[in-house]
Chains A and B, each alone.
Chain A
Amino acid sequence: MKNSIKYIAGLFCMTLGLTSCEYDNYDEPKLLFEGNLVYQGEPIGVSYNDVYFELWEEGWQTFGNIGVSVDQDGSFSSLLFSGDYKLIIPASQGPFMSMTNTETNSDTIPLNLRGSLDMDIEVMPYYMLRNVSISGNSNTVNADFSLEQIITDENAKGINEVVLYLSKTTFVDSRTSISSSRIGGADIADLNNIQLSTSVPDMTPTQDYVFARVGVRIDGVEDMLFSDIQRIDF
């Protein structure tokens, strides 16, 4: 009997330990903040894991930010607690410039999160890719497109190069490309009519499709601007 009391007491303590967890912990963040980086409603393509923005929340003892990275198609999403955040796109991020927010008169965007939020962030890209058409077969892939210069004032920047990338997976940029072709910025005769073509190399294991997109590297900007990813079936 003495023993069983011990066991019962032990069991009781264990149950207490497990149930009390409920009270100790915060709920996980549940508010979904999602959207796209856009210019006049059109999403801006970038390379994966390269472009991010920061969310800062004031009132804590120490400062630290929540980094939200932008996907290849310009979309982002993050699960957050409700609160008043400040959204900042660091100056070095992305092939674009931040727009001045009317409320703060700076590039800081106030974000008062009380419920899930679907919000597009307008930015000012240096260029936009227009009329992109990519087609091909098992030998070559061709791309036709034009470039529109958006920023033309003193902040205008030249084009370093335009590149067509092929990749085996839907991650398409310089890191994953299996074949690429490029034209230097100085060699582009007509911004409204740019053509690139590259050959499709042998792939192991063999696959009868490939993913492609074109990118623009802008002088003095680290992150490239990309078109949509296109799947090409042979």
Chain B
Amino acid sequence: MKKYIYSIFACLILFTACNDEEFLNRDPQNILLEDQVWENEDLVLSVLADLYNRLPDYQTIERWWEFANFDETFASNAGDYWRHQNVDYGYGNWGMWDYGYIRDINLFIEKAERADQLDSEVKARFIAEAKFIRAMVYFEHVKRMGGVPLILESLEYDFSGDPTYLQYARAKEHEVYDYIIEEMEAIKGDLPDGGTRSRATVGAALALESRAALYAGSIANYGQLTPNVSLPGGEVGIPASMADQYYTISLNASEELMGLGTYELYQNDPDPSENYANIFLNKSANNEVIFAKDFLVQGRTHGFTIDNIPRSLREENTSGGKMNPSLNLVQSFELLDNTFAPLPTTDENGDPIYYENQLDIFEGRDPRLAGTVILPGASFRGSQVDIWGGWKTTDGTLITSDQLGGRGTLPNGENAQLVGFDGPIPNLEWSAQGGFYLRKYVDTSVGSGQRGTGSAVWWIRFRYAEILLNAAEAAFELGDNAKAAAYMNEVRRRAGFPTDLAPSEIDFDRIVHERKVELSFENHILWDYKRWRLAHRVWNGESVDLTNNPGDAEAVSTRVFGLRPYKVYDPGSPNHEKWVFEEFIPTPVFNPHRFRLGNYYSFIGDNVRNANPKIVRNPNQ
């Protein structure tokens, strides 16, 4: 009898406990639920911040080594010497296939559209921002891979065992560009004008439109030079007939951005080199920057300055001086009379030219040179860098040391310093092996070179000078040289050129050159050379000497060169202790770069194509 009572009792407890849903359904204490997030502006912003944070960049101050892949800089870091020793770029290099990210953005947009607790204006801005990020990501995909499937809503699998309805073919290359352009036109009304540089604004949307349309236009235009780089379905390659249409869109977007009046060229410092360097460092009074990835001391910093500060000025006991801008880039900076010339190291008879000061050889060059590169004898953070390779006697003998600032005896018995505290010494990493240091983006504030502190210099993705150059290029391609010259001269006047370029002087070489020097180390070189179809001609895999015509856009430049200053040892002669310079190839550089036709559009992984047979391979691989 007792048994029965117990079991009935047990059943009763069971049933009543089950009835009590409150008991089992509890809100989690360690995560926020969808509904909780979508009723609070601040929480939505933090979700959005994650999406912003994941925006990819190929070359950026958080990945300095990627800058050394081409001919802009030598990597003075033993772990990166291979960048100058491999001939071919891999077909998979700079590839991307990030649909997880795109899905997250699509989900954000869908949830934002459903959210009913948010203020409608705020909600519209959030959606516009997410759409801006999505367009940025598609732009990142299309410039690397060509046309990719355009997925603009979240896809759900129905577990039926047949996933074919989720397999989308690649869109045509121009369709992706069209999507970006249309999307920017559609959302710009919902975005604020100015007020922030790390979130999307009207300016940022127009800047993206300007750049994307320019890329599409030049692929249509210059793609004719490489008919093999195309696919029959249009996934790669844009018909030449569409070029003008895209150039017009780009020019209009650039001019609309200029018309906003929110942005202007940075002109705060009287010294043009100082001014140019400060575009990248000054975060407070800087109306040139349109969209940037921002950093904050004691919040989030990066180690760019730790890696690239001149060796003799470093704040840590390790690292420093990793990027040595190449002579290829340095000699591209033209003379103030708008002409090009290599650096004069020897006279017409082949004899060395003697210079009183190290900086004299760079005299009369584009002030942006000293703003981009720390030249031998220049000052940084108030101290002079010490870059010289040794003493050179009249018969050509070199007296040097294998230690930075090493001392020894000169032929006259005097004990003297034999080499600079910054090098160059062959194979000695973290010093000016190539004869130069990088100045652009290297922080001048004390402490930024320390591991515990780091640098809070921001990474600029769009700035006003690029928009002017975009407009100049688009106008030039549309045949309006007067307009092209006007926009380009704005940038050049700010740079410090006394004489304007005449409309007749604007040609393709000029356009290429101006972007090369104004936008060096800003993640442009690869994409620009790809869209102009210059990459396989300039990086053609041949070991050739440095060009004597730095203004020639098609000049082959496959290896990075350096410049070594020497002190002259010739006691009694007026040349004693003057400077001579020598071009050289840094010891670790022993192979040229070769960009193959198959590198124009990166390899799509076998896993992607196995999962979706509709994806076609990129050409020439």
Binding site for B on A (CB under 8 A): 49, 62-64, 90, 92, 174-175, 177-178, 180, 220-222
Query: Which residues of B sit under 8 angstroms from A177, Cβ to Cβ?
Result: 542-543
CB nearest to B591 among chain A residues: A175
Query: Which residues of B sit under 8 angstroms from A92, Cβ to Cβ?
Result: 228, 597-598, 619-621
Query: Which residues of B sit under 8 angstroms from A174, Cβ to Cβ?
Result: 540-542
Q: Is the CB of B597 within 8 A of A175?
A: no
Query: Which residues of A sit under 8 angstroms from B227, Cβ to Cβ?
Result: 220
How many whole Å from A96's CB to the nearest CB in chain B? Answer: 14
> What 6 A-B pairs have minimum CB-CB distances, sorted nearest first?
A92-B620, A62-B610, A174-B542, A175-B541, A222-B597, A64-B606
Binding site for A on B (CB under 8 A): 87-88, 227-228, 540-543, 591-592, 594, 596-598, 606-607, 609-610, 619-621
CB nearest to B598 among chain A residues: A92
10 contacts across the A-B interface (CB closer than 8 A) = A62-B606, A62-B607, A63-B606, A64-B606, A92-B228, A92-B621, A175-B591, A175-B594, A221-B228, A222-B596
How many whole Å from B306's CB to the nearest CB in chain A? Answer: 36
Q: Is the CB of B228 within 8 A of A63?
A: no
Chain B contact residues: over half helix, strand or loop, or mixed?
A: loop
Query: Which residues of B sit under 8 angstroms from A221, Cβ to Cβ?
Result: 228
CB nearest to A49 among chain B residues: B88
How many whole Å from B596's CB to the nearest CB in chain A? Answer: 7
Q: Is the CB of A222 within 8 A of B228?
A: yes
Query: Which residues of B sit under 8 angstroms from A64, Cβ to Cβ?
Result: 606, 610
Cα A222 to Cα B81 with chains together (Å): 28
How many whole Å from B206's CB to the nearest CB in chain A? Answer: 38
Not counting A49-B88, A92-B621, a sample of 14 additional A-B residue pairs whose C-beta atoms are within 8 angstroms of each other reads: A62-B606, A62-B607, A63-B606, A64-B610, A90-B621, A92-B597, A174-B540, A174-B541, A175-B541, A175-B543, A175-B592, A178-B543, A222-B597, A222-B620
CB nearest to A63 among chain B residues: B610
Cα A185 to Cα B591 with chains together (Å): 28
How many whole Å from B390's CB to the nearest CB in chain A? Answer: 21
Cα A222 to Cα B227 with chains together (Å): 11
CB nearest to A173 among chain B residues: B541
Query: Which residues of A sit under 8 angstroms from B591, Cβ to Cβ?
Result: 175
How many whole Å from A223's CB to the nearest CB in chain B? Answer: 10
Cα A12 to Cα B55 with chains together (Å): 56
Query: Which residues of B sit under 8 angstroms from A63, Cβ to Cβ?
Result: 606, 609-610
> A175 contacts which of B542, B598, B609 (Cβ < 8 Å)?
B542
How many whole Å from B310's CB to the nearest CB in chain A? Answer: 32
Cα A92 to Cα B620 with chains together (Å): 5
How many whole Å from A205's CB to the nearest CB in chain B? Answer: 15
Most B-side CB within 10 Å, residue of A62, A90, A221, A222: A222
Query: Which residues of B sit under 8 angstroms from A180, Cβ to Cβ?
Result: 542
Query: Which residues of A sit under 8 angstroms from B88, Cβ to Cβ?
Result: 49
Cα A131 to Cα B574 with chains together (Å): 61
CB nearest to A62 among chain B residues: B610
How many whole Å from A107's CB to the nearest CB in chain B? Answer: 15
CB nearest to A65 among chain B residues: B606
Cα A180 to Cα B543 with chains together (Å): 10
Query: Which residues of A sit under 8 angstroms from B619, Cβ to Cβ?
Result: 92
Query: Which residues of A sit under 8 angstroms from B228, Cβ to Cβ?
Result: 92, 220-222
Cα A222 to Cα B596 with chains together (Å): 8
Cα A194 to Cα B317 with chains together (Å): 62
Cα A62 to Cα B609 with chains together (Å): 9
Q: Is the CB of A175 within 8 A of B87?
A: yes
How many whole Å from A78's CB to the nearest CB in chain B? Answer: 19
CB nearest to A60 among chain B residues: B610
Cα A174 to Cα B621 with chains together (Å): 20
How many whole Å from B193's CB to the nearest CB in chain A? Answer: 48
Cα A178 to Cα B590 with chains together (Å): 12
How many whole Å from B537's CB to the nearest CB in chain A? Answer: 12
Cα A222 to Cα B541 with chains together (Å): 12
How many whole Å from B263's CB to the nearest CB in chain A? Answer: 42
Cα A175 to Cα B559 with chains together (Å): 12
How many whole Å from A147's CB to the nearest CB in chain B? Answer: 22
Cα A92 to Cα B228 with chains together (Å): 8
How many whole Å from A112's CB to the nearest CB in chain B? Answer: 24
Cα A222 to Cα B595 with chains together (Å): 11
Most A-side CB within 10 Å, residue of B540, B542, B596, B619: B542
Most B-side CB within 10 Å, residue of A175, A178, A180: A175
Cα A64 to Cα B596 with chains together (Å): 22
Query: Which residues of B sit under 8 angstroms from A178, Cβ to Cβ?
Result: 543
How many whole Å from B559's CB to the nearest CB in chain A? Answer: 12
How many whole Å from A204's CB to the nearest CB in chain B? Answer: 13
Cα A178 to Cα B545 with chains together (Å): 11
Cα A188 to Cα B607 with chains together (Å): 47
Cα A50 to Cα B392 with chains together (Å): 44
Query: Which residues of B sit under 8 angstroms from A175, Cβ to Cβ?
Result: 87, 541-543, 591-592, 594
Query: Which residues of B sit under 8 angstroms from A90, Cβ to Cβ?
Result: 621
How many whole Å from A61's CB to the nearest CB in chain B? Answer: 8
Cα A178 to Cα B592 with chains together (Å): 12
Most B-side CB within 10 Å, residue of A174, A180, A220, A221: A174
Cα A180 to Cα B540 with chains together (Å): 14
How many whole Å from A25's CB to the nearest CB in chain B? Answer: 24
How many whole Å from B419's CB to the nearest CB in chain A? Answer: 24
Cα A92 to Cα B619 with chains together (Å): 7
Query: Which residues of A sit under 8 angstroms from B87, Cβ to Cβ?
Result: 175
Cα A221 to Cα B228 with chains together (Å): 8
How many whole Å from A220's CB to the nearest CB in chain B? Answer: 6
How many whole Å from A51's CB to the nearest CB in chain B? Answer: 12
How many whole Å from B130's CB to the nearest CB in chain A? Answer: 34
How many whole Å from A24's CB to the nearest CB in chain B? Answer: 26
How many whole Å from A33's CB to the nearest CB in chain B? Answer: 22
Query: Which residues of A sit under 8 angstroms from B606, Cβ to Cβ?
Result: 62-64
How many whole Å from A171's CB to the nearest CB in chain B? Answer: 11
Cα A191 to Cα B596 with chains together (Å): 28
Query: Which residues of B sit under 8 angstroms from A220, Cβ to Cβ?
Result: 227-228
Cα A62 to Cα B228 with chains together (Å): 28
How many whole Å from B288's CB to the nearest CB in chain A? Answer: 41
CB nearest to B609 among chain A residues: A63
How many whole Å from A161's CB to the nearest CB in chain B? Answer: 12
Cα A220 to Cα B224 with chains together (Å): 11
Cα A222 to Cα B620 with chains together (Å): 9
How many whole Å from A77's CB to the nearest CB in chain B? Answer: 22
Cα A178 to Cα B544 with chains together (Å): 9
Cα A116 to Cα B596 with chains together (Å): 34
Cα A177 to Cα B596 with chains together (Å): 18
How many whole Å from A55's CB to the nearest CB in chain B? Answer: 14
Cα A140 to Cα B621 with chains together (Å): 37
Query: Which residues of A sit under 8 angstroms from B598, Cβ to Cβ?
Result: 92
How many whole Å from B222's CB to the nearest CB in chain A? Answer: 15
CB nearest to A180 among chain B residues: B542
Query: Which residues of A sit under 8 angstroms from B607, Cβ to Cβ?
Result: 62
Cα A141 to Cα B110 with chains together (Å): 70
How many whole Å from A145's CB to the nearest CB in chain B? Answer: 21
How many whole Å from A210's CB to the nearest CB in chain B? Answer: 15
How many whole Å from B490's CB to the nearest CB in chain A? Answer: 40
Query: Which residues of A sit under 8 angstroms from B543, Cβ to Cβ?
Result: 175, 177-178
CB nearest to A222 among chain B residues: B597
How many whole Å from A158's CB to the nearest CB in chain B? Answer: 13
How many whole Å from B384's CB to the nearest CB in chain A? Answer: 36
How many whole Å from A85's CB to the nearest CB in chain B? Answer: 17
CB nearest to B592 among chain A residues: A175
How many whole Å from A21's CB to the nearest CB in chain B? Answer: 29
Cα A175 to Cα B591 with chains together (Å): 8
Cα A64 to Cα B591 with chains together (Å): 31
How many whole Å from A87's CB to the nearest CB in chain B? Answer: 17
